[in-house]
Structure 1
Amino acid sequence: MATRVSYPVEVKMKAIEMRLACIPVKEVMEQLNIRNKTQVKTWMRWYRSGEWNRLEQPVGKQYSYGKGPEYASELEKLKAENRFLKQQLDVLKKYKEMPKEVSPKIVVEWIESIRGEVSVTQACEWLGLPRTTYYRWKSAYDTECKDHVVEKVRELCMQHKFRYGYRKVTALLRLEQTINHKRVQRIMQHEGLQCRVRIKKRKPTGQPAYLAEHLLKREFQAHLPMKKLVTDITYLPFGGKTLYLSSILDLFNGEIVAYSIADKQNIAFVLDTLNQLPPLPGTMLHSDQGSVYTSEAYQAAVKGKGITMSMSRKGTPADNATIESFHSTLKSETFYLEGLTCTTTAIVEQTVRDYIIYYNSVRIQTKLKNQSPIDFRRLAV
């Protein structure tokens, strides 16, 4: 067991003076050779509560509750009283602005400002004020301050036309007062003062007109032409305005059998692509769950051609990987390769048309035994 150390009264008083001068505890311990920081905290607690006599008690000596301090002589008692009065005068001298006619607000602000030096109990004794009265005043003061902060937050939000979130509002408030960003966030949420620049986008909750099963099941091979088709839409953001490409690909030989280019992604756009196909009884057409494909008009046109519809699972683009790969290849081998990132709309359209002709009739593919899609189809027939 460690030996308990007894410190002289002079060391204890010196430690208290250094702490009142805002010297860090670690530095006080090093200068006065004090082993444990809890010692310093205990001495400060005794000092603030007016129990200076306890600074002179021997190690292990405890004063029973209600008995009060014991003094070795009348002289020691007078010294303790003098220290009490000196402490009271020292603190009060620092706050000469304290008016004679005090109000609850002034009392609360004054006691809060000296809480690092004396306890609430001691401060209330100096003022002749019951502690319960002080805490009642403090509760009302905190409520008033809270209302003030709410009004200040609302004023800042309106001043900046709701362009700022809680972080920037907190930064502005901290120019005048200390405040936690979480408190500002709670106030803005409760009062409906959130930033209105970037509102969260929500997808429509309505149900699509038609959803087909995933019949393709990622079986991207076909043994006969025009039996398995896949379709999709891609962006063409390379010209003066964004264009869209809707294409249909035959899984038998990877040939683009129909396509359309337009500046609007609507039902008429995909119908134009579909209408390029002849009637195909027994053919499967696979797409994603886009609103244009699930629409009643598109489904009616599909059924009119005797085609069976298949759709990818929600949020699974790999279910339609073949057509996704074609669109990626088209952009990589034309716009990105040739640096056509900013050109005219006419050039974009012509580039896509020329590439599809090249892709179908000239560009060889390893999976087609190094033949172009059209050549592979001709030889197979």
Structure 2
Amino acid sequence: MAGEGLEARGRTKPRRRCSPCAGEATEHPGDKVRQDLAAGLPRFLWPADVTQLSVPAGKPCLSPVPDCSGGSIVSWATSTSPSAEMANSTPEAAIRLTKPGERAHLVVRSDCGCHHRWPGWISICEEAGVIRSMSRKGSPPDNSRMGGLFGTMKNGMSCGRDWEGVSLEGLGKRIDDYIEWHDTKRIRRSLGSMGPLAYRQSLTLAA
């Protein structure tokens, strides 16, 4: 073609960017904690996010709400798709465990995902009187606490285990069992070589 002075022509399709932040329907509430994801006492700071697991039976999603003080997982939910119902159910269940006086200083911090900007999520936080905080758009380090939790959980659940023949219901049971172990028996150096439950008991914050 080049020897005959010809050139190829065609329409170039614009590249479509795939972003988990698509569908932003509300104003960004601001990052009130920035990258300081440490909390001295329970029920002061709860990060929130959604991740997807991949097993032969499918790719279910997990939405946990951990407590930055001690690292225990306050509530969690699973679903076959990243639905708003799943994302909304975790803060609802977690907030039910708090007292009205605790909610005034409680910060729920999420990423910029669309589930955390829809009216349902916002109304849950506003009706409970908790503070909404959101990481900066397109800044993964801002949400490193959740990234670390997801990485630890996936490694802990998958290492040396065969997922062949495990149904989605069976996976849900394994997730429940892992979180129970994570909250009661997993030893952490940052907690003085104690698990989250023993750490809270040492502070006389749990029975």
Q: CA deviation at 1:282?
A: 1.6
Q: Give the aligned partner of residue 237 of structure 1.
A: 54
Which has more radius of gyration? 1
CA change 1:304–1:322 in 2 (3 A) is same
Q: CA deviation at 1:320?
A: 1.6
The whole-number CA distance in structure 2 between the counterparts of 1:326 and 1:254 is 9
Q: Which TM-score applies when normalising by structure 2? A: 0.85
Runs of 4+ residues over 6 Å off in structure 1: none
Q: CA deviation at 1:288?
A: 0.2
The whole-number CA distance in structure 2 between the counterparts of 1:267 and 1:220 is 25
Q: Give the aligned partner of residue 10 of structure 2.
A: 188
Q: Unpaired runs of 5+ in structure 2? A: none
Q: Unpaired runs of 5+ in structure 1? A: 1-173
**Are the aligned partners of 2:70 and 2:196 in contact in 1 as well (CA < 8 Å)?**
yes
- C-alpha RMSD over aligned residues: 2.3
The whole-number CA distance in structure 2 between the counterparts of 1:180 and 1:341 is 58
CA change 1:350–1:229 in 2 (3 A) is same
Q: Give the aligned partner of residue 202 of structure 2.
A: 379
1:264 aligned residue (75, 78, 81): 81
CA change 1:236–1:371 in 2 (3 A) is same
Q: Which TM-score applies when normalising by structure 1? A: 0.48
The whole-number CA distance in structure 2 between the counterparts of 1:215 and 1:200 is 34
CA change 1:247–1:180 in 2 (3 A) is farther
The whole-number CA distance in structure 1 between the counterparts of 2:157 and 2:23 is 38
Q: Give the aligned partner of residue 183 of structure 2.
A: 360
Residue 307 of structure 1 pairs with residue 130 of structure 2: yes
The whole-number CA distance in structure 1 between the counterparts of 2:200 and 2:5 is 71
Q: Give the aligned partner of residue 201 of structure 1.
A: 16
**Are the aligned partners of 2:46 and 2:65 in contact in 1 as well (CA < 8 Å)?**
yes
**Are the aligned partners of 1:286 and 1:310 in contact in 2 as well (CA < 8 Å)?**
yes
**Are the aligned partners of 2:38 and 2:69 in contact in 1 as well (CA < 8 Å)?**
yes
Q: CA deviation at 1:337?
A: 3.6
Q: Give the aligned partner of residue 316 of structure 1.
A: 139
The whole-number CA distance in structure 2 between the counterparts of 1:324 and 1:342 is 28
The whole-number CA distance in structure 2 between the counterparts of 1:213 and 1:180 is 57
The share of aligned pairs that are identical, in percent, is 19
Q: Give the aligned partner of residue 67 of structure 2.
A: 250
Q: Give the aligned partner of residue 297 of structure 1.
A: 120
**Are the aligned partners of 1:245 and 1:260 in contact in 2 as well (CA < 8 Å)?**
yes
The residue type paired with residue 368 of structure 1 is L
1:332 aligned residue (139, 143, 155): 155
The whole-number CA distance in structure 2 between the counterparts of 1:206 and 1:331 is 28
**Are the aligned partners of 1:248 and 1:258 in contact in 2 as well (CA < 8 Å)?**
yes
Higher RCO by CA contacts (8 Å cutoff, separation 6 or greater): 2
Higher strand share: 2
CA change 1:267–1:339 in 2 (3 A) is same
User: Counterpart of 1:252 in 2: which secondary structure?
Assistant: coil
Q: Give the aligned partner of residue 167 of structure 2.
A: 344
Q: Give the aligned partner of residue 220 of structure 1.
A: 37
Q: CA deviation at 1:246?
A: 0.2
Query: Cα deviations across residues 94-136 of structure 1 (Å, max 9, x unaligned)?
Result: xxxxxxxxxxxxxxxxxxxxxxxxxxxxxxxxxxxxxxxxxxx
Query: Cα deviations across residues 246-280 of structure 1 (Å, max 9, x unaligned)?
Result: 00010110000010011121211111111112252
The whole-number CA distance in structure 2 between the counterparts of 1:247 and 1:273 is 7
User: Counterpart of 2:108 in 1: which secondary structure?
Assistant: strand
**Are the aligned partners of 1:237 and 1:243 in contact in 2 as well (CA < 8 Å)?**
yes
User: Counterpart of 1:275 in 2: which secondary structure?
Assistant: helix
User: Counterpart of 1:310 in 2: which secondary structure?
Assistant: strand
**Are the aligned partners of 1:225 and 1:252 in contact in 2 as well (CA < 8 Å)?**
yes
